[in-house]
Structure 1
Amino acid sequence: MNRFESIKEYFRQVSLGARNVHFFRAGSVPKLTKTFTSLEKKILVVAITALVVTSAFLISQSYVSVTEVVPDFGGKYVEGLVGQPRFINPTLSPANKVDQDISRIVFSGLIKFNADQQLVPDLAAEMPQISEDQKQYIIKLREDIVWHDGQQFTADDVLFTIKLIQDPQYQSPTRLNWNKVEVQKIDNFSIVIILKEPSAPFLTNLTQGILPKHIWESVEPANFALTKFNLQPVGTGPFVVTNIAKSDEGEIRSITLSSFENYKDGKPYLDEIVFKFYETYDDAIAAYHGRDIMGLGFIPFDKKNYVEKSSRINLHYLNLPQYQALFFNKSKSPVLNDKNVRYALAQSIDREEIINAIYFGKAQSSRGPIPPGYIGYNPGVEESHLYNIENAKALLSASEFIKVDGTKVLKKGDVDLEFTLTTNNFPPNVAVAELLKKQWEKIGFQINLEVLTIGELEQDKLRPREYQSLLFIENVGADPDPFPFWHSTQRQDPGLNLAIFGSREADALLEEARTNADPAYRDQRYKRFQEILVDDMPAIFVANSLFIYGINDKIQGVELNNIVNQSERFLDIDKWYLNTKRAIK
């Protein structure tokens, strides 16, 4: 056998997996290669290299075929928010979107919405057992849940939170959700909630975040909004607040949250989440382009194009159950007390211009207090008040507002056709208010625009109801129940009836609808209620806009479609991930 036949036989035995290769025992290859020519050596090297590469390729292909890419632990996500956190406390956070976002990650409710907008258990072990008369909710709690400080979560925490919310001394914005409700402890991990009357939308109230009794029970009502626990929260959520960085002036620059090892649904994939805070949306967008952050908590429509320039951002256009509306406080303006004037305002709004100029087509015209797709939605309810400039002018003329030589503003005797439009400094509200001012002044109105921070608006205008007209966005939640926003009992703070609307018939319809779970029954009453509302015109509904959320495409596991409110974008944040690995299928 010559040496080439020997080499051939060697590779054949190797390929067959032979344990003993007889032709080349230890030391034989070096002796053989001494007799090789330079060309033969090169051929041998190529052959061996080809064998190694082929073997490696086959092994890797075999590995890939039996494994799959799965999420792995580690990594940090950084998001930019506009504003400042004040209360990382679910009983106070609804008043501030920044607080709401962080509270959603730190705290848990008895139940929660999943990605399909279905209610599922959270702190509860199962969905509540509801009595036939729909007045009793028996809730069994999970027994394996601990707070971030290691203390056991029990029924006492639930009772404490609900009773705290019900106490007016604590001034919780969610207090009205728990009126006429009694909560009792059955045992350490079971409670019963008793309603004085059935409430179709009540189930969604159980998404309320729960506070730890052992932390908060020593805090007096007078100190509730001042205590350090509002920025050093202890919750049961997937992430724990571990660091707060402040500027020399005391403003919070960033908050770091670390994954909770003992989270009830398993340790989150991300190690950390960092929220950085900015004064303006321009600052936040600049930070994104500068790679200081990986996500933008909200992107104004007029800034969308600047963000889209980045090829590494995923923009999520999310539907929210909310509307942007103009609310009239008729008692503060004789002009707005005239129904013809309110009708004229409604008929001189060019919604198409607003949607295209402000929302870049990413919105729908709003026609009433119930968003599309919800029980009671009636798209034709405002058909009689669609855009009609000539009819709007005729209505003003019928109320004896006429043009006086040398002035653009119409007058009725000594009274100018004038009022103040108040809004907060949220960019879509400011932009729409400015465009409404422009549209209305074309037909003889004088509009005085007043733009305030959300804090100023709440304290100085909303609570005392000190405004003539108000442009604001209201989120109706998962159930479209208009009661909190339009029943006459909600006209004063902390009620949400911003139009100070009152009608006995409307009140009766709302009361009947919320005490009956039959969708057809509720639908009929909601539609009649909207007819009454449009006839009186205490408010004008402008638009239903989308919520734009931008996040770097390195972050995976983000599945978003429709959400109840903007903080619900974090509903599955424990499943978001940056790192991956291969695992056996």
Structure 2
Amino acid sequence: MKHQRINFWQLLRRTFKSFNKREEISLLIFSVIFLFSAVFSYQNIADSADLEKIQTGQEVKSKSHIYSEGLIGEIKRLNPVFNDLNPIDKDIDTLVFSALSKYDPETGKFVSDIADHSLSTDKKTYTFTISDNIKWHDGESLTADDVFFTYHDVIQHPDFKNPILKSNFEKVKIDLIDNKTVTFTLEYPNSFFYTNTIVGILPKHILKDVPVSDLGNHEFNKFPIGSGPYKLEEPYKTLAGGSSQVNLIINENYFGKLPKIKNLRITTYPSVDFLIKAKTALHGVPKISEEDLLQNLREDERFRIYKYTLPRYTALFLNTETTILADKKVRLALSKSINKDDLVKKLKNMRRMDTPLMELKQDEWLHKSNIEEAKGSLFDGGWKIENNEKFRKNIQGKDLSLRLISKAYSSDSKKYAEIKTVLDYLQKSWEEIGIELKIEILDDLTFKEALVNRNYDILLYGQDLGYNLDMYSYWHSTQANKDGLNLSNYTNPKADALIESMRNLFDSENDEKKQDKLRQLQNEISEDVPVIVLYTPEYFFAADDRIKDIVISNMMSAGDRFASIAEWYFVK
């Protein structure tokens, strides 16, 4: 008997036709589930393989011509109007985007980037003229329309979700004059305004139809188009193990000097341990503050270590509107009872700081610790210890008790250990002079609400000045509200006048006058004690010694290390 040969697909069709309706639906559902499971499993295997390569550095080793950096943290969204919220994003944006102006660490000045500018005779209107032949990474021309879109259509839009950046351009009139010209008109002269124009420009031709409220979550932020010296080769990768990676290639159409290093890779790691495992494949590790990581890299002869500080500090902001802290005698006692030198010895890689202008004044009486003088100041303010009680009371019998708030951090983080050390020290120091300290550690949302409503006696907080050295936002009395950054609710007419007068000092010949007024402002703030500045972090940049012409000086942001990247080169 001769067997008939049956085609597999014919058999499958016959079988499927024999199913009833319920069996057909069940088979279809099973097939879809099986297909998705197979794809998901494959992706997990691929992700695991990529993760292992990234976390051990295997992938980078295979391409040794790439300059590779490693950082602890994560890449979130590569968009210059949001990068204040994540320092790693800000570092990468420095390479991908260009701006109207930029900071030059070599001179310590703000200089032109894609545009020259002029200032009107009344010092209120800034006119920016875009340079010729500025191109986006996709070859389109960058025009004044893109600048207007970035500042007017996005930053000034009611739905824009970066309040810090948005506040810099409130009540600023922005006008598009022509294809190359845009103007910014202020209500009042402000010599610090130019520093606000370092924001990377966004491409209107790509983002014009995106609602501003959706911009923070748009796919553009994974694969942005900029006009800086480097461009993304592909969307940045985020892997299941907590690492992320971006690959950059040279932008051959860049208007400025082209870097000698053509390829650059930045990889983030979830912990110090993962970064140390990958260090053999890295050429640079910036912004190191972890002691174990620093020690490991110091012991590696391949790395050269650069030390630097940034304009940021940790301080105690004293709410001068509360009943107890409205009295300067109590604020002075709090300050005089803290031995900052003793405190920073208990912390790793911190430097004492005495003023919000990043100055050391340890030889001045106001900044010298003295327990007996602290007790005397409280006594003069009517706060006494009677009947061997632990804490002081005033004549009405009210306890000298203060409420301090601080943000919560993960218990296994470096920041948690730092804050705990500070709080333990403060509680012990103030208990010694008869002050009860009630400490509240708040989650992110509760902390932000307390900050906005000034719901505290004392706030332990880190202040990052960034590129903005205008003291208006931090110390002018008009900023002592829920929308301002005057966290001490500090009011002083003389301080206000000094801040306002500094805004009217333009041109380099007035630099000395501005510095003199800054010193006067510092004296006012020191005398009033609305804040107790404690310390500033010391950071370290470990760079492969084969990379030459790295310049680390006058840093105001960790991304300023890239200011001289056009000069960097490898030595074999």
Q: 1:478 to 1:87 in 2, by over 3 A?
A: same
CA contact (8 A) 2:72 2:275 kept: no
Specify the SS of the correspondent of 1:496.
Answer: coil
Identity within the alignment, % = 29
Partner of 1:420: 404
Of residues 96, 99, 109 in structure 2, which corresponds to 1:106?
96
Specify the SS of the correspondent of 1:243.
Answer: coil
Q: 1:491 to 1:296 in 2, by over 3 A?
A: farther
Of residues 541, 553, 559 in structure 2, which corresponds to 1:561?
553
Q: 1:296 Cα deviation (Å)?
A: 2.3
Q: 1:307 Cα deviation (Å)?
A: 3.2
Q: 1:50-61 to 2 correspondence within 5 Å?
A: none
CA contact (8 A) 1:513 1:522 kept: yes
Of residues 380, 383, 392 in structure 1, which corresponds to 2:374?
392
Q: 1:180 Cα deviation (Å)?
A: 3.5
CA contact (8 A) 2:391 2:399 kept: no
Q: 1:123 to 1:231 in 2, by over 3 A?
A: same
How far apart in 1 are the matches of 2:488 and 2:129? 40
How far apart in 2 are the matches of 1:347 and 1:394? 10
Of residues 119, 143, 167 in structure 2, which corresponds to 1:130?
119
Partner of 1:275: 266
CA contact (8 A) 1:424 1:430 kept: no
Q: 1:568 to 1:525 in 2, by over 3 A?
A: same
Partner of 2:16: none
Specify the SS of the correspondent of 1:81.
Answer: strand
CA contact (8 A) 2:315 2:462 kept: yes
Specify the SS of the correspondent of 2:168.
Answer: helix
Q: 1:433 Cα deviation (Å)?
A: 4.4
Q: 1:86-235 to 2 correspondence within 5 Å?
A: 86-116=76-106, 117-124=108-115, 127-163=116-152, 164-172=154-162, 173-235=164-226
Letter matched to residue 324 of structure 1: T
Q: 1:275-354 to 2 correspondence within 5 Å?
A: 275-280=266-271, 282-283=272-273, 286-287=276-277, 290-300=279-289, 302-303=291-292, 304-330=294-320, 334-354=323-343
How far apart in 1 are the matches of 2:225 and 2:387? 67
CA contact (8 A) 1:199 1:515 kept: yes
Which string of whole-angstrom CA distances, capped at 9 and with x for unpartnered residues, describes residues 333-388 of structure 1? 6554443322111001112223444355x63x43322234xxxxx95996334211
How far apart in 2 are the matches of 1:102 and 1:355? 32
Q: 1:534-545 to 2 correspondence within 5 Å?
A: 534-545=526-537
How far apart in 2 are the matches of 1:240 and 1:184? 30
How far apart in 1 are the matches of 2:456 and 2:75? 26
Letter matched to residue 355 of structure 2: G
How far apart in 1 are the matches of 2:540 and 2:439? 26
CA contact (8 A) 2:128 2:183 kept: yes
Unaligned runs of 5+ in 1: 1-72, 373-377, 581-585
Letter matched to residue 534 of structure 1: S
Q: 1:527 to 1:394 in 2, by over 3 A?
A: same
CA contact (8 A) 1:382 1:534 kept: no
How far apart in 2 are the matches of 1:461 and 1:248? 34
Q: Does 1:480 align with 2:469?
A: yes
Q: 1:436 to 1:380 in 2, by over 3 A?
A: closer
CA contact (8 A) 2:404 2:460 kept: no
Q: Does 1:489 align with 2:478?
A: yes
Q: 1:538 Cα deviation (Å)?
A: 1.7
Partner of 2:22: none
Q: 1:100 to 1:170 in 2, by over 3 A?
A: same
TM-score, normalised on structure 1? 0.75
Q: 1:521 Cα deviation (Å)?
A: 4.4
Q: 1:418-567 to 2 correspondence within 5 Å?
A: 418-423=402-407, 425=409, 427=415, 431-449=421-439, 459-478=448-467, 480-517=469-506, 518-567=510-559
Q: 1:197 Cα deviation (Å)?
A: 2.2
CA contact (8 A) 2:313 2:534 kept: yes
Which string of whole-angstrom CA distances, capped at 9 and with x for unpartnered residues, describes residues 80-123 of structure 1? 32333333222221132222222222211112122412333211
Which string of whole-angstrom CA distances, capped at 9 and with x for unpartnered residues, describes residues 7-61 of structure 1? xxxxxxxxxxxxxxxxxxxxxxxxxxxxxxxxxxxxxxxxxxxxxxxxxxxxxxx
CA contact (8 A) 2:402 2:458 kept: no
Unaligned runs of 5+ in 2: 1-62
Q: 1:157 Cα deviation (Å)?
A: 0.7
Q: 1:179 Cα deviation (Å)?
A: 3.1
Which string of whole-angstrom CA distances, capped at 9 and with x for unpartnered residues, describes residues 483-542 of structure 1? 111112323455322222233443233222212323454345434433432343221122
Of residues 345, 365, 372 in structure 2, which corresponds to 1:383?
365
TM-score, normalised on structure 2? 0.76
CA contact (8 A) 2:338 2:369 kept: yes
Q: 1:406 Cα deviation (Å)?
A: 8.4
How far apart in 2 are the matches of 1:456 and 1:80? 30
How far apart in 2 are the matches of 1:456 and 1:276? 30
Q: 1:430 to 1:146 in 2, by over 3 A?
A: farther
Q: Does 1:366 align with 2:353?
A: yes
How far apart in 1 are the matches of 2:203 and 2:122? 31
How far apart in 2 are the matches of 1:187 and 1:336? 54
Q: 1:403 Cα deviation (Å)?
A: 4.9
Q: 1:408 to 1:483 in 2, by over 3 A?
A: same
Select between 227-236 and 543-552 the one with higher mean Cα deviation: 543-552
CA contact (8 A) 1:287 1:293 kept: no
CA contact (8 A) 2:243 2:270 kept: no
CA contact (8 A) 1:441 1:447 kept: yes
Letter matched to residue 217 of structure 2: L
Letter matched to residue 99 of structure 1: D
Q: 1:401 Cα deviation (Å)?
A: 4.4
How far apart in 2 are the matches of 1:301 and 1:457? 28
How far apart in 2 are the matches of 1:158 and 1:274? 28
CA contact (8 A) 1:107 1:209 kept: yes
| Greater C-alpha radius of gyration | 1
How far apart in 2 are the matches of 1:307 and 1:320? 21
CA contact (8 A) 1:77 1:270 kept: yes
How far apart in 2 are the matches of 1:279 and 1:434? 28
CA contact (8 A) 1:423 1:430 kept: no
CA contact (8 A) 1:81 1:277 kept: yes
Specify the SS of the correspondent of 2:342.
Answer: helix
Specify the SS of the correspondent of 1:471.
Answer: strand
Report the RMSD for the aligned CA atoms in angstroms: 3.2
Letter matched to residue 328 of structure 1: L
Select between 345-354 and 187-196 the one with higher mean Cα deviation: 187-196
Letter matched to residue 560 of structure 2: E
CA contact (8 A) 2:283 2:543 kept: yes
How far apart in 2 are the matches of 1:520 and 1:122? 26
Select between 189-198 and 383-392 the one with higher mean Cα deviation: 189-198
How far apart in 2 are the matches of 1:252 and 1:190? 42
Which string of whole-angstrom CA distances, capped at 9 and with x for unpartnered residues, describes residues 292-340 of structure 1? 5433232226444343222222221224333332112355x65544433
Which fold has the larger relative contact order, with Cα–Cα distance below 8 Å and residues 6 or more apart in sequence?
A: 1
Q: 1:111 to 1:132 in 2, by over 3 A?
A: same
Select between 340-349 and 529-538 the one with higher mean Cα deviation: 529-538
Of residues 236, 239, 247 in structure 1, which corresponds to 2:239?
247
How far apart in 1 are the matches of 2:328 and 2:528? 7
How far apart in 2 are the matches of 1:284 and 1:459? 32
How far apart in 2 are the matches of 1:482 and 1:205? 14
Count residues in correspondence: 494
Q: 1:75 to 1:226 in 2, by over 3 A?
A: same
